[in-house]
Structure 1
Amino acid sequence: MSLSVAPTHGSVSNNVAAPFLATTAIKLLSIIGLLMMPFQVSILMDFYELSAQKSGVLATVETTCLGFGVLLVAFNLIRLDLKKMALLGFSLALLANLLMLLRNEYEWLFACRAIAGLGYGLANATASRLIASLFKETEKVAGYLYALIYLITTALYYLSPTLIQWSGSAGFYLLIAGILTLLFPLILLLPSVTSKEESRSFELALLLQRGLPVFFAIEIILMMGLGASWSFSERFAKSIELGADKIGLYYALSSASQFLGALLAAWVAVRFGKLVPLIACLLPWGAICIILSHAETEAAFAFGILAYQFMLAFFIPYLLGIGARLDPSGRIAAVIIGVQIFSFGAGSSLGGFINDHFGLNHIGTVAAFACFLAVAVLPFVVRNFDTQNMHHLESRNM
């Protein structure tokens, strides 16, 4: 693996290992709640005895606060350097998950998920800014970084269903807290990183005029549909009466497929640009969501969850790459990924609504519609970024 640090950020040396490991730890911290969302939704329904819709609302609260945390970092509303911001996010996330052990009233759970989401958001925007601004080849670095994360989550997915079966909600939230604690020393490896002066490079008004609102609208629709399928994927498995051991096995294998998807994204990014890989990903992804939600056999579920996770891992580095090209400070990348995670998590509420009013199988149909809509619109938006926004920004920097 050959990676290099961009020569624009003060105290960061040319040694890429420490910044890369620290950024990976911060990114894992920031998405651990999202990665484990199917298990959390089931815990809220099975152990806290909440309806699917209320469980989805709690997931949406978490991701809404995550989005708020992203905006705080993206627009420099909290005056901390990126290392201190990551540590603040870590502290809030750890506290919130431990507080879940104390009480089970809905209002208490609501507050805990809100605090956790804020912590995840601060960490997520920090990691996205580091990836987009600290390293030279954004998609390549993001691909390797996510591949490492997915290797770690393979073990989590395999162990979680059995752990929950034996220890319930307490075991689950202690597991999350334990993982966060293990990440703490890696976060400390990050040197103090102060972003360069951003007022000139981050021309928000210009970018809003040239396609970002349409991009964000499509991103929200797409990720809400896909998030609904992800959040209720364990319910798909339980609907065909798969046991905890097999569910854990297939989630572990799906994380391994994410590892391959992220590596492929790193390889493809430097050879085929952005548009072709995006379309090649989204077209089959919609069909996969239908297969997953309509699975009637173990083989169909296994194929659906592995293929779904492969596509997700392939897709995310390209979002970071789009943001990095639009804004070298990394703030647009932070907002794009924040919107992605917020919308993905908000899909839990959408999935709960669909499940309660129309049935579980229809969740995949909605996700497929979102994918096909994105295929129709995103090529024009991304091409507009390349031909207008980047031309303008580059001409100003000459």
Structure 2
Amino acid sequence: MDPARPGSEDWLVGNPTRGQLAAALWIGSVGLLILGLQPVLLGALFTQGHVGGDELALVATAELITIGIGSATVAMALSARNMRRKSTILLLLLALANMWTAYAANANMLIAARAVAGFAEGGLVAVATELIARSRRAERIGGYFVSLQTLAQCVLALLLALAVIPAYGASGGFVTLAVVCGLSVAVARAVPDDYADLPKDEHFANVLTPGAITALLCIFCYFMFFGSVWAFLEPLGAQYGIDGRTVGLIVSASLAAQILGAMTATVFEARIDYRLAITAVGIVAVLACVTLASGPALTTFWAAALAMGFILLFIVPYQIRLAITSDETRTTALLVPAAQLFGLALGPVAASLLIEEVDFRAVPEFAAASVIASIALLGLFVALTRRRVVA
């Protein structure tokens, strides 16, 4: 990708080949593998006695917060230069952090290891999102990105749940992730080395507006919903008499539903107004949360988990459109992953404060409240946008 080359009809600046785009999207996908694997890996840590309920939330939160920090730091504070070298360094750092996790001696070491892993993962995410932001069809490329990452999560979740963890425990799962990072170093050589600069003003000035802040908060609250339920899916299932192996299969099926949701959104993203899509997804999310809080049977639990999986990534292209609408320089769009990840991180912590002993039903109740807040923020954003147009 030549930084000096003007944008083509598909790109605002630069003109990466399909191979370069695919490489960047894969590198970002490696950074987000943990999102689909957390219920399996953290569930194994919990059932094997490595962490308690509160420590489980802290491990999940430490990693997701540092993913958000790493994503925002690389996207906003560092130049989009030498991306092959940066990708390689981040992959190797993540591989080491995964090996550290596999042999961590206590909960504090686990938290530290996952915090380091999270920062490296966030940097890898930025490798993809920086390139996506330069596309004239950022929503469509974003749909491809979430489809690829979720397909990888689905395959690995099945491998871990059915083969690796039963034989080698949670440690084997993290060693597997380290191997994936090592193999991905070869792909990093195909990433465009220098991304062309976006034509935009000062970074942070474009984000510090009421519309941009409201858009990011809307995204943040939606992902708080999913993060809270996702982190506690195995304990919640256990409360209803569903064993860990079955929950692992449900997680894998939910990841497959996420792929379907992402692909569906990629096809229909230009035909559905983002405001309608976000509202409709919010209604489905609330219904799923109510179902999970009501003590469902196994079949109903499956249905709620699959519905949540489908809508999770179906909404992402529309959230990208929301961010671009709030800030046409696309600076805010670079922070969408950070908003999503902070929501995923803080959701489990906030929900854990409501848990009473072994009763986890407050988790989906909190998740429903988060979705309602997200829809309310969308309404506020629409009002602010109309006022701006009138002005």
Common fold, TM-score beyond 0.5? yes
Secondary structure at the aligned position of 2:104 is classed as coil
CA distance in structure 2 between the partners assigned to 1:330 and 1:90 by the alignment: 27
- Could you list the per-position Cα deviations for residues 168-204 of structure 1 after superposition, in whole angstroms to 9, with x for gaps in the alignment? 1221111211222333322322121333165x43453
Deviation at 1:288, TM superposition (A): 0.7
Aligned to 1:262: 262
Partners of 1:285 and 1:368 within 8 A in 2: yes
Partner of 1:176: 177
State whether residues 151 and 259 of structure 1, in contact with CA within 8 Å, keep that contact through their aligned partners in structure 2.
Answer: yes
How many residues were matched structurally? 383
Task: Measure how far apart 1:153 and its partner are.
Answer: 2.4
Residue in structure 2 matched with residue 155 of structure 1 by the alignment: 155
Note if contact 2:212-2:332 (Cα within 8 Å) is conserved in structure 1. no
- Counterpart in 1 of 2:225? 225
Query: Alpha carbon RMSD of aligned pairs, Å?
Result: 2.7
Q: Which range moves more in the overlay, 55-64 or 97-106?
A: 97-106
Q: Please give the secondary structure, in 2, of the residue aligned with 1:6.
A: coil
Q: Which runs of 5+ in 2 are unaligned?
A: 1-7
1:118 aligns with 2:132: no
| AA matched with 2:354 | I
Amino acid at match of 1:8: V
The CA deviation at 1:73 is: 1.5
Percent identity, please.
21
- The match for 1:247 is 247
Is 2:141 aligned against 1:141?
yes
TM-score by length of 2: 0.88
- Structure 1 pair 296–197 and aligned structure 2 pair: CA distance change class (3 A): closer
For residue 27 of structure 2, what is the aligned residue in structure 1?
26
- Residue 19 of structure 1 and its aligned partner are, at CA, apart by 2.6
Q: CA separation in 1, counterparts of 2:174 and 2:209?
A: 43
**Partners of 1:275 and 1:360 in 2: CA distance:** 32
Say if 1:151 and 1:380 are closer, same or farther in 2 by CA, change over 3 A. Answer: same
Partner AA of 1:338 in structure 2:
A
Look up the equivalent residue of 2:276 and give its one-letter code.
V
With over 3 angstroms needed to count, the CA separation of the structure-2 counterparts of 1:80 and 1:191, relative to structure 1, is closer
Deviations 1:212-250 (A, max 9, x none): 233333433332232111111122223333345433332
Structure-2 residue corresponding to 1:317: 317
Within 5 Å, which residues of 2 pair with 1:1-398?
A: 5-6=10-11, 8-9=13-14, 12-13=15-16, 15=17, 17-77=18-78, 80-133=81-134, 135-162=135-162, 163-196=164-197, 200-202=200-202, 204-325=204-325, 331-356=331-356, 359-382=359-382, 384-385=384-385, 388=388
Equivalent AA in structure 2 for residue 59 of structure 1: A
Specify the code of the residue in structure 2 equivalent to 1:151: L
Are the counterparts in 1 of residues 227 and 345 from structure 2 also a CA contact under 8 Å? yes
Instruction: Tell me the SS of whatever aligns to 2:196.
Output: coil
1:131 is displaced (CA, Å) by 1.2
Question: In 1, distance between residues paired with 2:127 and 2:150?
Answer: 19
Paired letter, 2:220: I
Return the letter of the residue paired with 1:201: D
Q: Is the 8 A contact 1:58 1:113 kept in 2?
A: yes
